[in-house]
Each structure stands twice: as structure tokens, then as C-alpha cells.
């Protein structure tokens, strides 16, 4: 069964707001096993909205329209959809009562006349109460097609979807879609894809879809099945094959787990603490690691040492090293990691030093050159990277590679 999302609002067309409703609805529909092939954004314009609704009904089973249900003249979603379905608008006494009550409660105020517009509903529509606003949700069914109209504000649409719309959609579905996410680091997108080209060539059900992230590749394995059990039987062998090919480079098969959470989890598992010493990334590595809510158990302090003097004083990097090899060097990265571990009394430490750009590069040490030193239990591994992005991207890449390096070194410790 297919669903199509139609977001109504000129503010979306102007880029005033980001369409987070579409991402929310898309994710929830995918989780319910609905296939979504199209999302459309259209403004508060009668002719274009009608055209988009008609097109949607011609190619999808279910339309979910969000926005344009409010009290103003601009709000046309209900009027246009009712017209396409050939329904008159009639006043719904239940909704009128709710609007009155809402106004008394929230605004302790009279209802302004334009608000009564929200009590008008298409004949025969199911009315879905809005517990966080005045515009009710509406469901119209006709000839095997369904239109679901939802209010635009995130704090109204989300509770309404969870409470009433998700159960309604679930009741419509004969077959389900199930998926698992396999997340990989240490291997680039092209190489990862080359490693599974044969699987992707042969795929029908399940399918594998790769997504490139900074320093990561995500593979979504999706199966169509009649239930969880059948889905598991289809997906499990594919996951096992991916583990045979990628091994330890797979850092999680949980949708919600991030690389920093995987690294923090590994540290916690081994009962180790970590610290960071950052020059070009200047806090971004620590900041990302601490996205992991549980990281406070493994991370106590860190150092941002932008100047040479700070590298010497806070981390004990030797003056000779800085003079001989420079602040951006494998030697300095190594001493930063060692010194940070010592200063913080941590079991592991990552040092990052490099030239993020746009200035500061030379022929010998160009913009994008980054050294990462990773100290784990007495030994330091250093790696040299050459990034080619702008300042922000180079720093982001350095953080991703630093986390990956730390993870690789932690995995080498076999308890």
C-alpha cells in the first residue's frame, strides 16, 4: 500500500522553515510498512493544491496532507480536498463544542468568528480530535483511496499521528515492510559498494541500499514480508553475509546507534576512560563523543590546545618536538595523545592536530593535512589524513576519523 505526503504552506516554498513534518511522517509511515514514493510541497494556492491532490490520488493509495487547516483565508487544504472528493462542508457540532471549550481554556477569551471555519468538515469524513489545537484531523475515503488531513504545527500533528492516525493506518495494511540498518566505518563508500556489488546485482527481496555519511557508510537492508518472523528469515542471512564481508568495520546494526555511542559503549564495556587533546578540531571531537548520553561514565575532561604554548603546558608536548617537526606533525599528535592521557589519568586519549584552512597551508603541509594520534594502554598509533573540504568539512572529517581510529585501537584489545 502506498502513501504520498503533501505538505501545504508557502513558508515551506520560501525556505522560511525546514520540512521536519515530512521527515517525521516519512519515518513513521516507513516503520508502519507503507511505501512512500513521493513527497510534495505546495503553497496555499487553490489551483495548484487541487492539481497536486488529483495527481496524488492518481498514483498513491493514501494521501497525507499536512498544514493549511487553520482559521485564515489562506488555509485551503480542507476546502480543496473536499472539492476533489465531491463533498460538501457541513458544521460538526462536536468539533464546534471542542473549539469553544479550547478557547475558554487556553485563551480565556471569546472565539473569533474565523475560528468557526475549523468546525466545518467534509460530509462523511471521520473527524479526529486535536488535543493540542483547534483544527481537527480529517479522514476521507472513496473508491479505495484515502485522504488524511492533519494540522501543520509539529506539536499538534505528532501527538495526533501517534494517537489516532498510526493505528488507523496499521488497520489498512495487509503486508509489512521491515528493515535493518548496518552501519560501517573504517571503509569508504566506493570500496564498501564494490565489496557488495554482487549482492546488489542479485538483490530482489531483501534489498540493500547504501547511504554515505561523513566517515561512515550505512547499508539499509529492507524486506517485504507478511510478518516479523518471515522478515527475520529474509534479513538475517543478508546481515550475516555483510558481517562476513565487513567484519569489525560494522559498528552497529541498530538504527538509532551513532558512531560516538558505539565508541562510548566499547569504552564502557572495557571499563576504560578516554580524554581528548584537540588543536584544529578545537572541541568538536569531545563535543561529538559527548553526544552519547552515556559518555559521562568514560569521559571526565579534555583539552583544547590551539597554541604551541598550551600544547607544552597542558599536555607536556616537548618544545623540541614542536621546533623540529612543527605543531602539525605525527610526532606532535603522538605527544598530545600521550600527554593528555597522563594529565587526565585516562586509559585512552586521542590527539588531533592539523590545518583546517582556509589559511595556514604550505606546499609541504597543505590545508586539509591532519594527524591523529591514538593512545591506548601505553601504545600510540598515529595516522596522517588529507582532507579536501572547506574548514568546516575538514574538521568534521577529522572528528569522524579520530573516532574510527579510537574504535579500531579499542577493538585490538582482546580481553
Instruction: Please give the residues from 195 up to 234 whose contact with a copy of itself meets the rule CB under 8 A.
Output: 197, 200, 209-212, 220
Q: Retrieve residue 407's grid coordinates.
A: 574504535
Q: Of 94 and 211, which CB lies nearer to a copy of itself in the complex structure?
A: 211
Q: Of 115 and 321, which CB lies nearer to a copy of itself in the complex structure?
A: 115
Q: Of 290 and 411, which CB lies nearer to a copy of itself in the complex structure?
A: 290
Q: Of 125 and 274, which CB lies nearer to a copy of itself in the complex structure?
A: 274
Least distance (Å) between residue 414 CB and a copy of itself? 29
Tell me which of 18, 93, 202, 323 binds a copy of itself, using CB under 8 A: 18
Q: How many residues does the chain have?
A: 415
The helix/strand/coil state of 82 is helix
Q: Residue 92, CB half-sphere, CA atoms under 13 Å: how many?
A: 24
Burial class from Cβ neighbours inside 10 Å (0-12, 13-18, 19+) for residue 368 reads buried
Q: Of 98 and 125, which CB lies nearer to a copy of itself in the complex structure?
A: 98
Q: In what order do the strands lie in the sheet with 250-252?
A: 207-213, 216-225, 176-184, 250-252
Distances (CA, A) of 224 to 31, 136, 173, 228: 12, 34, 12, 10
Tell me which of 72, 205, 226, 324 binds a copy of itself, using CB under 8 A: 72
Q: Residues near 217 by Cβ (< 8 Å), separated by ≥ 6? A: 183, 184, 185, 187, 188, 189, 192, 193, 210, 211
Instruction: Please give the residues from 297 up to 336 whose contact with a copy of itself meets the rule CB under 8 A.
Output: 299-307, 309-310, 314
Asked if 70 is part of the footprint of a copy of itself (rule: CB under 8 A), the reply reads yes
Stretch (H or E) spanning 25: helix 20-32
CA-CA-CA-CA torsion for 233, 235, 239, 242, nearest 10 degrees? 120
How far is 277 from 160, CA to CA, in rounded Å? 47
Residue 274: other Cβ atoms inside 10 A? 28
Tell me which of 114, 205, 226, 324 binds a copy of itself, using CB under 8 A: 114
Q: Retrieve residue 410's grid coordinates.
A: 579499542
Residues 64, 3 contacting (CB under 8 angstroms): yes
Instruction: Please give the residues from 147 up to 176 whose contact with a copy of itself meets the rule CB under 8 A.
Output: 153, 155, 159
Q: Of 26 and 87, which CB lies nearer to a copy of itself in the complex structure?
A: 26
Cell 503486508 identifies what position?
A: 175
Asked if 50 is part of the footprint of a copy of itself (rule: CB under 8 A), the reply reads no
DSSP state string for 137-168: EEEEEETTEEEEEE-SSHHHHHHHIIIIIHHH
Instruction: Please give the residues from 329 up to 388 whose contact with a copy of itself meets the rule CB under 8 A.
Output: 344, 357-359, 368, 386-388
Least distance (Å) between residue 349 CB and a copy of itself? 13
Tell me which of 120, 172, 290, 411 binds a copy of itself, using CB under 8 A: 290
Asked if 66 is part of the footprint of a copy of itself (rule: CB under 8 A), the reply reads no
Tell me which of 126, 393, 408, 411 binds a copy of itself, using CB under 8 A: 393
Q: Of 125 and 387, which CB lies nearer to a copy of itself in the complex structure?
A: 387
Tell me which of 58, 108, 204, 256 binds a copy of itself, using CB under 8 A: 108
Q: Of 124 and 316, which CB lies nearer to a copy of itself in the complex structure?
A: 316
Q: How many amino acids of this chain bind a copy of itself (CB under 8 A)?
A: 108
Amino acid at each position: 500500500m502506498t502513501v504520498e505526503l503533501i505538505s501545504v504552506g508557502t513558508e515551506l516554498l520560501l525556505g522560511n522553515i525546514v520540512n521536519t513534518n515530512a521527515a517525521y511522517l516519512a519515518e513513521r509511515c516507513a516503520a508502519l510498512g507503507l511505501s512512500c514514493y513521493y513527497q510534495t510541497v505546495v503553497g496555499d494556492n487553490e489551483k495548484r493544491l487541487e492539481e497536486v491532490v488529483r495527481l496524488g490520488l492518481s498514483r498513491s493509495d493514501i494521501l497525507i496532507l499536512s498544514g493549511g487547516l487553520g482559521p485564515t483565508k489562506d488555509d485551503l487544504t480542507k476546502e480543496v480536498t473536499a472539492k476533489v472528493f465531491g463533498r460538501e462542508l457541513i458544521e460538526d457540532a462536536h468539533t464546534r463544542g471542542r473549539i469553544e471549550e479550547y478557547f475558554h481554556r487556553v485563551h480565556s477569551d471569546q472565539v473569533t468568528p474565523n475560528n468557526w471555519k475549523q468546525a466545518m468538515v467534509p460530509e462523511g469524513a471521520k473527524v479526529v480530535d486535536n488535543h493540542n489545537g483547534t483544527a481537527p484531523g480529517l479522514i476521507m475515503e472513496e473508491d479505495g483511496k484515502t485522504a488524511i488531513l492533519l494540522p501543520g504545527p509539529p506539536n499538534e500533528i505528532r501527538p495526533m499521528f501517534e494517537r489516532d492516525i498510526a493505528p488507523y493506518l496499521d488497520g489498512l495494511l495487509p503486508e509489512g515492510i521491515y528493515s535493518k540498518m548496518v552501519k560501517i566505518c573504517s571503509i569508504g563508500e566506493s570500496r564498501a559498494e564494490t565489496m557488495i556489488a554482487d549482492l546488489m546485482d542479485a538483490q530482489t527481496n531483501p534489498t540493500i541500499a547504501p547511504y554515505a555519511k561523513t566517515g561512515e557508510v550505512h547499508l539499509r537492508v529492507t524486506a517485504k514480508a507478511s510478518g516479523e518472523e518471515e522478515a527475520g528469515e529474509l534479513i538475517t542471512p543478508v546481515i550475516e553475509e555483510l558481517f562476513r564481508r565487513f567484519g569489525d568495520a560494522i559498528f552497529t546494526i541498530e538504527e538509532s546507534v551513532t558512531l560516538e555511542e558505539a565508541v562510548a559503549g566499547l569504552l564502557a564495556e572495557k571499563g576504560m576512560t578516554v580524554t581528548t587533546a584537540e588543536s584544529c578540531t578545537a572541541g568538536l571531537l569531545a563535543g561529538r563523543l559527548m553526544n552519547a548520553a552515556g559518555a559521562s561514565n568514560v569521559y571526565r575532561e579534555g583539552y583544547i590546545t590551539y597554541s604551541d604554548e598550551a600544547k607544552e603546558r597542558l599536555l607536556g608536548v616537548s618544545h623540541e618536538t614542536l621546533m623540529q617537526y612543527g605543531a602539525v606533525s605525527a610526532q606532535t599528535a603522538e605527544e598530545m595523545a600521550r600527554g593528555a592521557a597522563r594529565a587526565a589519568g585516562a586509559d585512552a586519549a586521542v590527539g588531533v592536530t592539523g590545518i583546517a584552512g582556509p589559511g595556514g597551508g604550505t606546499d609541504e603541509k597543505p590545508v586539509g593535512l591532519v594527524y591523529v594520534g591514538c593512545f591506548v594502554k601505553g601504545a600510540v598509533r598515529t595516522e596522517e589524513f588529507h582532507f579536501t573540504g572547506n574548514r568546516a568539512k575538514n574538521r568534521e572529517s577529522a572528528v569522524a576519523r579520530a573516532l574510527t581510529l579510537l574504535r579500531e585501537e579499542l577493538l585490538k584489545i582482546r580481553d
